Amino acid sequence: MTKKHYYLIVDTETTKFQTVADFGAVVVDRKGAIVEQFGAMVLGHFGSMPLFSDPTADADAFWSEQSAQRRLKNYDDMLESGERSISSPALINQWLAGINARYNPVLTAYNIAFDFGKCRNTRINLGIFNSRFCLMRTAKRKIGVLADYQKFCYDNNLLTKKLRKPQMTADAMAKYICPEMPDEPHTALEDARDYEALILSYILRDTTRKQILELGQ
């Protein structure tokens, strides 16, 4: 019987102090089926520190300082409705340890160096996982090089601001795979579950576990 392989996709939204405000993660099998999921605001960071914003961004840009207030209200609404809870880094680490014990998953994230570093700053321990790769790097090499993908980006104005080249964001990749996808919300669980899991399952259709680990280094 073939051993079943699992992947843990992690996503974070951060504070101005380079720590994690919003932590999200999903466990998926190679077909993209979601086995477990977790999303929480991080105690001692969310609400205690300002959300990340870019002071150079235009006022109507998603990462502008003006938008930070809107994003904060959105999170407050999610807490009020029960869509999110608040968890300590220690509780998140307990969940991660349980996931590692049950599934022994390969860890990934869309720009894993970013998420790994911000989790380390927050004392969220991603170092317990034996194998990891960068989903963004893999997606660039499997999807970003396709002429069809590049045409899709040009046709839909999914281009970088300065060079006007096809974007390599999770938002653009997911829309290529599923054109009716709305804009990525930039909330951690939803980004991991609805966008990054979609990209991973698309790549895994014709890519082995060994190949994906090599592509994502």
The residues, ordered by sequence, that sit 6+ positions from 82 with a Cβ below 8 Å of its Cβ are: none
Q: What pLDDT was estimated at residue 60?
A: 85
> Per-residue pLDDT tens for 179-202?
999 999 999 999 999 999 999 999
Name the stretches of the chain with pLDDT < 50: 1
Tokens of 5: 């392989």
Specify the pLDDT at position 161. Answer: 87
pLDDT tens, residue by residue, 109-118 = 999 999 999 9
pTM as predicted: 0.96
Q: Determine the Cα–Cα distance for residues 46 and 57; give it in Å rounded to an integer.
A: 22
**What is the C-alpha to C-alpha distance for residues 28 and 100, in angstroms, rounded to an integer?**
13
Q: What values do phi and psi take at 19, rounded to 5?
A: -120, 175
Token digits of residue 173: 């990749």
**So what's the pLDDT on residue 2?**
57
> Could you give the C-alpha distances from 39 to 100, 117, 168, 210, in angstroms and in order?
17, 18, 25, 29
CB 153 within 8 A of CB 166: yes
pLDDT (tens digit, 9 = 90+) per residue, 89-102? 999 999 999 999 99
Domain ranges of the chain: 6-207
Using CA atoms, how far residue 153 sits from 166, 167, 199, 202, in Å, is 5, 7, 16, 18
What pLDDT sits at residue 3?
74
Alpha-carbon distance values, 60 to 17, 169, 172 (Å): 23, 20, 20
Give the pLDDT confidence score for residue 162 in this predicted structure.
87
Residues 6+ apart with CB under 8 A from 34: 26, 27, 28, 193, 197
pLDDT for 1 equals 46
The CATH code belonging to domain 6-207 is 3.30.420.10
